[in-house]
Amino acid sequence: MAAAGARGAGGETGLGTPATTEKRSLFGAPARYPGGWTEVGPGVHAWLQPNGDLGESNAGLVVGDGAAVLVDALWDERLTRRMLQGARELTDAPLTAAVLTHGDGDHCYGAHLLGEVETVATAAAAAQIAEERPAALAALQRAAAAGTAVARLPGAERALGDAAVVARYVARKFGPYRFAGLAPPPAPRRTFSGELELTAGGRTARLVEVGPAHSAGDLIVHVPDAAVVFAADVAFVGVTPIAWAGPIDNWRRALELVLSLEPAAIVPGHGPVCGAAELEALLRYWDWVEVASARGRAAGTGAYELARELLLAPEFAAAEWGGWDSPERLYVNLALIERTAAGRPLVRNPRDQLALFAGMARLDAELEARR
Cα separation, 72 vs 55, in Å, equals 12
Give buried/exposed letters for 93-125 (b at 16+ CB in 10 A, else e).
Answer: bebbbbbbbbbbbbbbbbbbbbeebebbbbebb
- Checking DSSP bridges between strand 118-122 and strand 95-99, what pairing results, if any? parallel
Residues 121 and 242 in one domain: yes
Contacts 24+ apart (CB under 8 A), 178-183: 178/76, 178/77, 178/78, 179/76, 179/134, 179/135, 179/137, 179/138, 179/141, 180/138, 180/141, 181/138, 182/76, 182/77, 182/109, 182/134, 182/135, 182/138, 183/112, 183/134
Residues 105 and 224 in one domain: yes
Cα separation, 136 vs 189, in Å, equals 24
39 phi/psi in degrees, rounded to 5? -85, 120
CATH code, 267: 3.60.15.10
In a domain, 1, yes or no: no
The predicted structure's pLDDT at residue 347: 62
Residues 296 and 163 in one domain: no
Cis peptide leading into residue 51 (ω within 30°): yes
Residues 46 and 110 in one domain: yes
Cα separation, 317 vs 348, in Å, equals 31
The predicted structure's pLDDT at residue 351: 72
The predicted structure's pLDDT at residue 353: 79
Residues 201 and 93 in one domain: yes
Contact status, residue 229 vs residue 314, Cβ threshold 8 Å:
no
The predicted structure's pLDDT at residue 45: 98
Residues 365 and 223 in one domain: no
Q: How many domains does the chain have?
A: 3
Range of the domain at 341: 286-370
Residues 299 and 217 in one domain: no
Domain end: 274, 307, 324, which one? 274
Give which of 26, 76, 55 is closest to 182, Cα–Cα. Answer: 76
Distances (CA, A) of 207 to 83, 190, 210: 22, 12, 10
pLDDT means over runs of 10, the chain (371 residues): 38 38 86 96 98 98 97 97 96 96 97 96 97 91 82 64 85 94 95 97 97 96 98 98 95 98 98 98 98 97 96 94 97 95 74 84 90 72
